[in-house]
Structure 1
Amino acid sequence: MKIAMIGASGFVGTRLINLLKEEPAKYTCSNIDLQPSHFFNEITTIGDVRSQEQMDRELKGADVVILLAAQHRDDVSPVSLYYDTNVGGMEVTLKAMEKNGIHRIIFFSSVAVYGLNKKNPDENHPADPFNHYGKSKWQAEEVLQKWYESHPDWNINIIRPTVIFGERNRGNVYNLLKQISSGKFLMVGKGENKKSMAYVGNIVAFVKYMIDNITEGYNVFNYIDKPDNNMNQLVAHVSKVLNKHIPATHFPYWLGMTGGYCFDLLAKITGKKLTVSSVRVKKFCATTEFDATKVHTCGFKAPYTLDEGLARTLEFEFVHPRPDDITFKSE
């Protein structure tokens, strides 16, 4: 089976290629990305998902397309890049697939399509994205919905993961774990807000499961590793894994947001991208709990528990020295 990935030089794509290459007799992988791959450059072609001519050429002969390419950071400028890549790239990909007779696509969307502070939304919950990333991901899904109406023989699988973490990732979860493990952690709010998370080892295992088992129809899956931890429980788990006492000072929400706005102003004045912002404080304090009943009752069994994923990440990043400094930046 020939698997054509678009945007797989990053964190999730690298782990997915690594998993599929464990069975070379079953899968042949290719990758089209704006950036070279740290580990799989021999199968990577430098390309742009927005280029129709290039996608028409590079997808030739594929059996399944996995679309990971996206603008995803909080601070992308101009904001039109979210829509050019996340929506326009979808339109280009579908046209290239049709030209090449490919009828199967797996698309990485996001739980960001639901918006903030929703009460455990499942896949049927109305979309209500609050930022350009979420809005552009939802618009890309709408393109897929419309496409399926005129292509009912296609197999379209959409995965909406929550925040993904794991070894080598440099995103919000890594920054949070680093702050907690440093012992200089400042808790904004009471720490009772729950944080849905997904370990990268489980995400890629589910994608492989979809390739092999979910081969018909239009399907949407939230992906979250359960059960969810609240912030206080997360701090306690980090303390247990690292075997160290980690104090957590609680600051009221209004004070945290005031600090976030101050960092916004500083970033605007200096022109630098800072690790603290009002958007990130808001996201930190939000409850991000999502229903994952569908994915965990479809026959898929995650190879790791959430706590095992956290422990593997903590040990890789903060306990055992690594032979290289290769990392992946994300949100």
Structure 2
Amino acid sequence: MKKIAILGGSGFIGSHLSQYLNKMNIDFIILDKIQSIQFPKKWQFADVTRPLELHKTLSAVDVIINLAAEHQDNIEPKSLYYDVNVQGAKNICAVAEYLNIKYIIFTSSVAIYGFIEHETAEDGAYQPFNNYGKSKLAAEQVYDKWVAKNANRTLVIIRPTVVFGKNNRGNVYNLFKQIVFGKFFMIGTGNNKKSMAYIDNITAFLHYVTMLPINRYVFNYVDKPDFTMNELTQIIYYTLNKKRNNFHIPYIIGLFIGYCFDLLTKITGKKYPISYIRIKKFCACTQFKSNNIKQYNFKAPVSLKEGIIKTIHSEFIK
């Protein structure tokens, strides 16, 4: 049986993946700067920017799953994106080569495609617009060089769309929370579609790809169908048994509000949940698909709608 190392295993996806592997009786260790709450005995301190520590913790490991990343929109200094995401990839590859580890799974991001106009599969053009997307694309190139050096190596690159679920505190959670407390207003028409990924499904897929034969693989990960913002919010209102707020803020006004908050951030140094880029991303049509997953027999265990309902119940109703 393969022994799996989860880099960044104390984070949102890593914690759920650890629980999944534990239920499957699969041997794993958690490597992170922060101690794992669920599995403290399986945790070891590790920092992808410090290769000597990786040498110590990755010995006797068969598979590396790298979830460690700087991913928020407003990280300062910007160099952290490249220190962690790119240099971290170089350190992991160097240690894997030294220890003769031949199997790496890397969670990249659909952010490498940038703002898209049409539903995009794995062959989409790379046009990252921010440092997060640029650093993830650069990291992919590092891993590609590693796998190309040896025909017996396996590389799996997974590009998830926005991932949500219990204990996540990202944009989807913020949307739920705004509706719960009556602070949500739709910006734009609400007809733009959004691709999403439920945590239980992506953890199941991460386990699935540990069993693939030797090769290089690239997968977008998205749970279908894509909902429009109007459809998504309707599911949330219905689950919460709340009356829907049908007030819409015009898109151009929403962008202006975001710009004002950006100015306020520069003046005060305080970070706000509203920004120009977040408004733009909220109103954008971000649809992705995976042509490559269709070639395999993986089936997501939970429907997207069920995942939304389960998350709302676990976070706001129970």
TM-score bracket, normalised by the shorter chain, equals: over 0.9
The equivalent residue for 1:117 is 116
> Where does residue 224 of structure 1 map in the other structure?
222
Question: What is the distance in 1 between the residues matched to 2:310 and 2:111?
Answer: 26
* 1:265-322 Cα deviation digits (max 9, x unpaired): 11111111111111111110111100123224411010000000000001111110xx
State the alpha-carbon separation in 2 of the partners of residues 266 and 40 from structure 1. Answer: 41
How far 1:248 sits from its partner (Å)? 2.9
Alignment of 1:1-331 (within 5 A): 1-24=2-25, 27-212=26-211, 214-320=212-318
**Cα 1:248–1:179, aligned 2, differ >3 Å: closer, same or farther?**
farther
8 Å CA contact 2:4–2:28 kept in 1: the answer is yes
The gaps in structure 1 that reach 5 residues or longer are: 321-331
Post-superposition Cα deviations, 1:100-121, rounded to whole Å, max 9, x if no partner, equal 1110011000000000133111
Cα pair 1:181 1:246 within 8 Å, conserved: no
The percentage of aligned residue pairs carrying the same residue is 46
Q: In the alignment, residue 313 of structure 1 is paired with which amino acid? A: T
- CA distance in structure 1 between the partners assigned to 2:277 and 2:37 by the alignment: 30
Partner deviation per Cα, 1:115-136 (whole Å, 9 max, x = no partner): 0133111111121101000000
Amino acid at match of 1:278: Y
- Give the match's secondary structure for 1:122: coil
Equivalent pairs counted in the alignment come to 317
Separation (CA, whole Å) in 2 of partners of 1:135 and 1:60: 31
- Describe the superposition over 1:201-245 as per-residue Cα deviations: whole angstroms up to 9, x where unpaired: 000000111112x13200000000000001000111112222221
Q: How far apart, CA to CA, are the structure 1 residues paired with 2:108 and 2:265?
A: 29
The change in CA–CA distance for 1:131 and 1:178 in structure 2 (over 3 A counts) is same
In 1, are the aligned partners of 2:55 and 2:95 still within 8 Å (CA)? yes
Q: Residue type of the partner of 1:221?
A: F
TM-score norm. by structure 1 comes to: 0.93
- For 1:8, give the aligned amino acid: G
- For 1:112 and 1:149, locate their aligned partners in 2 and report how far apart those are by CA, in whole Å: 24
Q: Following the alignment from structure 2 to structure 1, what is the Cα–Cα distance between the partners of residues 168 and 55?
A: 31
> Structure 1 residue 95: deviation in Å?
0.8
User: SS at 2:23's partner residue?
Assistant: coil
Question: Which amino acid in structure 2 is aligned with residue 195 of structure 1?
Answer: K
Per the TM alignment, residue 160 of structure 1 is displaced from its structure 2 partner at its CA by 0.3
Q: Distance in 2 between matches of 1:222 and 1:249?
A: 34
Q: Deviations over 1:68-94 (max 9, x none)?
A: 110001011110110010000001001
Equivalent pair of 1:192/1:230 in contact (CA under 8 Å):
yes
Q: What SS is found at the alignment partner of 2:185?
A: strand
**Matched-pair contact (CA < 8 Å) for 1:185–1:249:** no
Q: In the superposition, relative to structure 1, how do residues 235 and 12 fare at CA in structure 2: closer, same or farther (>3 Å)?
A: same
TM-score with structure 2 setting the length: 0.97
- Partner of 2:71, secondary structure, is coil
Which secondary structure does the structure 2 equivalent of 1:185 belong to? coil
Measure the CA separation in 1 of the matches of 2:170 and 2:250. 24
Counterpart-to-counterpart distance in 2, 1:118 and 1:141: 23
> Pairwise CA RMSD of aligned residues?
1.1
Counterpart amino acid of 1:168?
N
Q: Give the Å deviation of 1:52.
A: 1.4
Q: Is the 8 A contact 2:122 2:291 kept in 1?
A: no
d(CA) in 2 for partners of 1:77, 1:261? 19
Q: Secondary structure at the match of 1:215?
A: coil
Would you identify which runs of 4 or more consecutive aligned residues in structure 1 move more than 6 Å?
none
Does the 8 Å CA contact 1:185/1:248 hold for their aligned counterparts? Answer: no
